[in-house]
Amino acid sequence: MKITGAEILIESLKREGVKHIFGYPGGVILNIFDLLHDEKDLKLFLTRHEQGAVHAADGYARATGKAGVALVTSGPGATNTVTGIATAAMDSIPMVILTGQVPTSLIGNDAFQEADIIGITRPCTKYNILVKDVSELAKAIKEAFHIATSGRPGPVLIDLPKDVTSSKADFVWPDKVHIRSYNPTYEGNKWMIDKAAHEIAKAKKPVIVAGGGCVISEASHELKEFAELCNIPVTMTLMGLGSFPGSHDLSLGMLGMHGTYYANKSVQDSDLLIAIGMRFDDRVTGKIEGFAPNARIIHIDIDPTSIRKNVAVDIPIVGDVKKVLLQLNKVLKEQIQEQWHEIRKAWLKQIAAWKKEHPLSYTHTTDVIKPQFVVEKIHELTKGDAIITTEVGQNQMWAAQFYKLDKPRHWLTSGGLGTMGYGFPAAIGAQLAFPNKLVIDIAGDGSIQMNIQELATAVIYKLPVKVAILNNRYLGMVRQWQELFFQERYSHTNLDVVPDFVELAHAYGAVGLRASKPGEVEPVLKEAFKVKRPVFMDFVIDWHEKVYPMVPAGASIDNMLFEVKETKAEKKLKAVK
């Protein structure tokens, strides 16, 4: 019996194991939404903006490892997804975005709510397709999920004309996918792995740099085994946080522009850099010419285009991170391991000295809340077992520095694109995936307003997301740059009117709490974590506070700025003045 394209779509999604969709309705996809009305095995969660839907699908994908799904209408509905799609593309997140489209007979005629979403998203999708024949729909969906989740993951968009979803065809579900031009390499080259093992065995000052690929590949166990086997310290990119335990003795924390002093110094002084599932982003490398000047570089990545794109590499290994590390660990176990611990004693002693020289720190006060203190308290009360999402800016960097992540898929943040407004809808997606987990969005007062309408989504679906707003009444990271590099000319970064977040939460039917003094921070957090409802926590923080350490733009990563601490005499003089 022939069924409609809308029915084929629903059945195909169920065959792919999809249970949750995030979306927003519109005219050309009403036949799909009509079917969802009575659907028992597939639930759509109505967000308040299409960007929120895509970020929620993204958070769902990062937390679970499965493809997130978003469904929106044509025209502005489709174009509103672009920021979320680009966010996912930059961070290699598997998603399938389904957009409505005007009937095929009207495409190109500037019909009502028509937009060339295929052309618009071609630069920021892994693959996209306009389905013109209903008989090709099931195949297109099967291929979309395969492409989105295999190799280096990424977002795939399917554009669905109204006549395609209303026409009928036989439902034929493909048994498997074969795309002649798409065959990712999973197994690493044996000769290159042997060569890498030889370099690792003789290195006196090696450092592992773990990126987001270690999380995506589910390679945390293999990474930890590798580091402990060879006694090699591990630093992580922003996207790699949680892939290696942050509390481990070999952990150096994050490297790069706002990385730890000891991570950056270790990279710069190393004789061997083992880059795993990362792409040498400019925020990691700083000045390319001055990056790891004395190190030979081994680079493991499933995407061959990421290798040698930014940094020259001595030993490239194309393959899935987990599979390559399994192979590499097997080779290394056959060698004499005691020597590695002996020859690296001096190296680890030097790193320990750097940790003492410039630990991550801040100046605590009894009258003004420091943002780092809030993050530390969140970590202390959650014992590191919460899913943390962030917005973008100072809040993101303080969270990365002071929340020790020991588990993968517990850190959801926009790394490559740096999307303000990402964290809150992403937290909603993660909370839906894990209803019994504590999910906390660490936000800024500027970025939370980008998608604040999604508070209605959290309230309606009873998703107890907690939002910790570090409220400094500024666009803090931009203000920091203006203070340091633009003679304190705060051009358009002072948020003169900031909403009362407590009252706003109440207006949506959520819980609102506020802390204005350090002593109020812990009680507010405890109250928020106890409540089984969405909560906005407004932490009124020191607006002067900056993120340190910091590498100025264009500098080498060991050229770092640190907080200048006032002496008692200087404080006294300032008070007199």
For the annotated catalytic residues, the residue numbers are 50, 112-113, 162, 477
Cα–Cα distance measured from residue 59 to residue 63, given in angstroms and rounded to the nearest whole number = 6
Q: What is the DSSP string of 312-355?
A: --SEEEES-HHHHHHHHHHHHHTS--HHHHHHTHHHHHHHHHHH
**Beta-ladder partners of 538:** 469, 514
- Spatial contact of 547 and 259, defined as CB atoms under 8 Å apart: no
Q: What is the largest CA-CA distance in the chain?
A: 88
Residue 197, Cβ neighbours under 10 Å: how many?
21
Q: Give whole-number Cα distances, 98 to 14, 84, 113, in Å.
A: 15, 13, 16
Gyration radius (Cα) of the chain, Å: 25
- Number of other residues whose CB lies within 10 A of the CB of residue 46: 16
Q: Name every residue whose Cβ is closer than 8 Å to that of residue 497 and which is 6 or more positions away in sequence.
A: none
Decide if 440 contacts 389 (C-beta within 8 A): yes
> What gap in Å lies between CA 463 and CA 45, rounded to an integer?
11
Secondary structure letter of residue 135 according to DSSP? G
Nearest to 471 by CA among 491, 511, 492, 501: 501
Q: What are residue 101's DSSP bridge partners?
A: 161
Q: For the chain, how far is it from start to end, CA to CA, in angstroms? A: 86
Q: Decide if 422 contacts 388 (C-beta within 8 A).
A: no
Spatial CB neighbours of 84, under 8 Å, sequence gap ≥ 6: 50, 51, 53, 54, 55, 57, 58, 70, 419
CA–CA distance, 525 with 513 (Å, rounded to integer): 9
For residue 286, give the DSSP letter: B
| Amino acid of residue 404 | K
What 3 state SS string does 216-251 have? HCCCHHHHHHHHHHHCCCEEECCCCCCCCCCCCCCE
Cα dihedral 299/301/303/306 (nearest 10): -30
